[in-house]
Amino acid sequence: MTTRIFENRRVWQLTPDEFLAAACLIADQEAEHRPSAVLGIARGGIRLAETVGGKLGVPAVIVRARHNAPEGIQQAATGLILLDDEHNRDALAALPASARLLVVDDICGSGATLRAVADVLTATVGPAEIRTAVLCRNEGCDYPLDSWGWDVADWVHFPWESEPEHGRIETLPALTGLRSRPMPPGSRA
């Protein structure tokens, strides 16, 4: 399992305006891949899925998977992902086989949650393509994301979360473009 990096220098804060700017950048970049649906991982990916799906004119589907059971900053990554099988089965039932799917979340810390969701999608939907996009990626993560906004080495506070109880809060810098995984040689975009 990937080890997340925490420098313990700050708590990054994503402002609502920067969230919207990042969501629009993700939607613009992913439009060329023509996803059939945007799947948000609850809870952090819900608003991102709704915003990106709305901009692309495709449904936002919420899947439930949870890595950090306790709330609060700097919780240890266990690698154990709790999936809500009943909810996910019902949510995914409407997706057509061979769909092109975009899975989004607020942060990729270790990649364990995205791996678990991709495994469920592969087993239940059999999509033609699964792409992934997140707002933030922990610098210790080696999961092969397709796109993300910020590389971070400290905890991130998102607009939908309660204010952190401690830590020096700094606003994430303005995002001017997304980071992307390099395309393999000989492949087409």
Q: Could you tell me which residues come within 8 angstroms of residue 29 by beta carbon, excluding any fewer than 6 positions away?
A: 133, 147, 178, 180
Q: Could you tell me which residues come within 8 angstroms of residue 174 by beta carbon, excluding any fewer than 6 positions away?
A: 18, 21
| SS3 category, 102 | strand
Nearest to 131 by CA among 160, 88, 168, 102: 102
- Going 116 to 144 to 40 to 42, the CA torsion angle's sign is positive
**pLDDT given at position 189:** 44
Q: Which residue's structure tokens are 């810390």?
A: 109
Q: What amino acid is encoded at 180 in this protein?
A: S
Assigned CATH for 11-180: 3.40.50.2020
Running along the chain, 189 residues long, what does each successive block of 10 average in pLDDT?
78 96 97 96 94 97 75 55 72 86 95 92 92 96 94 94 85 94 57
Q: How far apart are CA 172 and CA 12, in angstroms?
A: 6
**pLDDT given at position 152:** 96
Q: What amino acid is encoded at 36 in this protein?
A: S
pTM: 0.86
**pLDDT given at position 185:** 55
**pLDDT given at position 186:** 56
**pLDDT given at position 178:** 95
**pLDDT given at position 132:** 97
Q: Is 85 exposed, middle or buried (0-12, 13-18, 19+ CB in 10 A)?
A: exposed
Q: How far apart are CA 82 and CA 137, in angstroms?
A: 21
| SS3 category, 17 | helix
